[in-house]
Amino acid sequence: MSDFDLVDALDCSPEIRHPPSGTEQDVEREVKLSEDLNLMVTCNTITMKSVANLVLAVNKLSKSLSLCGRDLSDGELCGAIMDCVVEETIFQEGWSNSSGTRKSVFQRCRSVHKFTVSDEYQKDFILKTGEMKLQAITLQGGNGDRKVNFEMCHYRPPSSSSICSLTVLLSVSENLHISCSMENGKVSLKLEQYSHESLTEINQEDGLDRFLFIKNIPPGGSLVSFESVKFRGWFISTSSSSVDYSVEMCQAATASRVTCFNVFQKCN
């Protein structure tokens, strides 16, 4: 097992697989992944864990790019690469007040990411002109600046919570966030003004969990879904119809609604 070489797991030429032997200095090998993307491998002392992690990251990146179905900007490509190599860690801790009793709150972490969202039909999230309302439309060339640049803050769920995935706040601007409410037996999505500083801790008893979503990524997948924390089983969705621009909440497997998205992290 110690003689395993990373290039044996990748699609590359025999010359790259078995280069001439030389000194023990680091050797760089280039592996062609696609027309515009190469992988540079530096051969030195490595572990099986690092090999497996890199192979999984390369395969995930290739799958993500093939699902996108369109050319990416440099920033979107950088974000896609970062999404594949940065591992998200879920923390579950109990938080106590001054009396020492445990309270059920979601605690904001320092981790913040900026990103854009599109569905499988290449419809991007935008703000409807003149309204505080999200829409999903197919942008033509030169209109990429209309995409909403979301900001995602991570939250630690309380230890009493059954949530085992990442919990996030989705913001359009510093004090404008996506939230959910129940109206006439149906969960609705809206943009709500609320002080960012007042959301450092989110107590479920205060109803502020309406701002939180569970970010789910299927094992081995690259698409992302956002499920409401307050109304479990309800997801952010777009329409599969090219003439329906609505961004709404829906229940899982609702006909003609899309609940899984490409998320492109933006590099600073």
> Is the pLDDT reported for residue 1 higher than 70?
no
Query: Looking at residue 110, what is its pLDDT?
Result: 81
> Is the pLDDT reported for residue 267 higher than 90?
no
Band (pLDDT 50/70/90 cuts) for residue 146 is very high
Rounded to whole angstroms, how far apart are CA atoms 111 and 131?
29
Rounded to whole angstroms, how far apart are CA atoms 139 and 130?
18
**b/e code 165-189 from CB counts within 10 Å (16+ = b):** ebbbbbbbeeeebbbbbeeeeebeb
DSSP 49: H
Are 19 and 102 contained in the same domain? no
Residue 3, both tokens = 């003689």
- Pair type for strands 105-119 and 261-265: antiparallel
Are 176 and 81 contained in the same domain? no
Rounded to whole angstroms, how far apart are CA atoms 65 and 59?
10
**Of 75-89, 149-163, 244-258, minimum mean pLDDT range:** 75-89
Which parts of the chain are beta strand (E)?
A: 27-32, 38-43, 95-96, 102-103, 105-119, 124-127, 134-137, 150-156, 166-173, 176-183, 186-193, 201-203, 212-216, 225-228, 234-239, 247-251, 257-258, 261-265
Query: Looking at residue 195, what is its pLDDT?
Result: 95
Largest pairwise CA distance in the chain: 73
In-domain check, residue 90: no
Band (pLDDT 50/70/90 cuts) for residue 74 is low
pTM for the whole thing?
Answer: 0.65
Are 32 and 160 contained in the same domain? no
Are 71 and 142 contained in the same domain? no
Rounded to whole angstroms, how far apart are CA atoms 4 and 6?
7
Band (pLDDT 50/70/90 cuts) for residue 205 is confident
**Of 3-17, 189-203, 208-222, minimum mean pLDDT range:** 3-17
Are 22 and 59 contained in the same domain? yes
Are 148 and 209 contained in the same domain? yes
Last residue of a domain, one of 64, 85, 106: 85
Are 16 and 73 contained in the same domain? yes
Phi, psi of 152 (to 5 degrees): -115, 120
Q: Are 116 and 265 in contact (CB under 8 A)?
A: no
Q: Are 116 and 266 in contact (CB under 8 A)?
A: yes
Strand partners, 95: 103
Last residue of a domain, one of 85, 103, 125: 85
Calculate the average pLDDT of the chain.
79
In-domain check, residue 1: no
Band (pLDDT 50/70/90 cuts) for residue 210 is very high
In-domain check, residue 203: yes
> Is the pLDDT reported for residue 121 higher than 50?
yes
**Of 39-53, 94-108, 156-170, minimum mean pLDDT range:** 94-108
Query: Looking at residue 266, what is its pLDDT?
Result: 79
- Please indicate whether residue 156 or residue 104 has the higher confidence score (pLDDT): 156
Are 109 and 234 contained in the same domain? yes
Q: What is the CATH number of the domain that holds 190?
A: 2.80.10.50
Are 109 and 223 contained in the same domain? yes
Query: Looking at residue 93, what is its pLDDT?
Result: 45
Last residue of a domain, one of 67, 85, 103: 85
Are 74 and 147 contained in the same domain? no
In-domain check, residue 64: yes
- Please indicate whether residue 75 or residue 127 has the higher confidence score (pLDDT): 127
Percent of the chain with pLDDT over 70: 65
Angle at 52 between CA 46 and CA 55, to 5 degrees: 105
In-domain check, residue 205: yes
pLDDT tens-digit series, residues 225-253: 999 999 999 999 999 999 999 999 999 88
Band (pLDDT 50/70/90 cuts) for residue 94 is very low
pLDDT tens-digit series, residues 11-68: 555 554 455 554 444 555 665 556 666 666 666 666 777 777 777 777 766 665 555 5
Q: Following DSSP, what letter does each residue of 223-268 receive, concatenated?
A: -BEEEESSSTTEEEEEESSTT--BEEEEETT-TTEE--EEEEEPP-
Are 134 and 153 contained in the same domain? yes
Are 227 and 198 contained in the same domain? yes
DSSP 200: S
Q: Are 193 and 176 in contact (CB under 8 A)?
A: yes
Which domain covers residue 50, as residue numbers? 6-85
